Amino acid sequence: MMNTFSKNHFSKFFLRKKIKIIYKFNSNVLSLSAYVYLFPGRSMGARTAVAVCNRMCDRQKDAVQGVLCLSFPLNVPGKPQTFVERSHGLHALSQTSVLFVSGTADNMCQQNLLQNVMLVMKSPSAVHWVKDANHGLAVRGRTEESVLEEVNSQIIAWVLQHK
């Protein structure tokens, strides 16, 4: 069966399924309460968090207070032109704050591309660049704990601004 589907089609199929499941759950929650959400995601999970945020905000304008995008996969490695398609969800956000945390050596999120996307986003956005970090936020010569301490302090400060 896998031979009949391209990897991209297969991924999009399951991403849509995951979004529908999360959205159905959150739609029920929205009808019961007035919670405000902060959605975190890493890599493809960040794209999913943005997609779910857009769906929820279509239903209730201020349903999501913020989206945290760790290592947002803005472009396919070696194919910077793919950022156009991958940034559609970010452009659709209208007022939800977004924090990006990425590495300066992340081959899936070039600094200049993300900064250009942030300039045209309607939503307020900020970015924290981890010096020399790759897509997994690993930095040669630094311990994982020191990187996590840096990242966590940025996230905590951002969350406190949005509570």
Q: Is 7 part of a structural domain of the chain?
A: no
Sheet-wide strand order for 125-130 = 37-42, 64-70, 97-103, 125-130
- Write the DSSP string, 105-117: T-TTS-HHHHHHH
Tens of pLDDT, residue by residue over 87-141, are 999 999 988 999 999 999 999 999 999 999 999 999 999 999 999 999 999 999 9
Q: What does the pLDDT average to over 49-69?
A: 89
Is 51 within a domain?
yes
Percent residues over pLDDT 70 in the chain: 77
CA distance 78 to 74: 12
Residue 78 lies in a domain: yes
Within-domain flag for 27: no
Tell the residue number behind the tokens 């405000």, with chain if given: 36
pLDDT of residue 136: 95
pTM value? 0.77
- Domain interval for residue 78: 34-161
CA distance 10 to 44: 14
CATH number at residue 93: 3.40.50.1820
How many structural domains comprise the chain? 1
Q: What percent of the chain is predicted at pLDDT more than 90?
A: 58
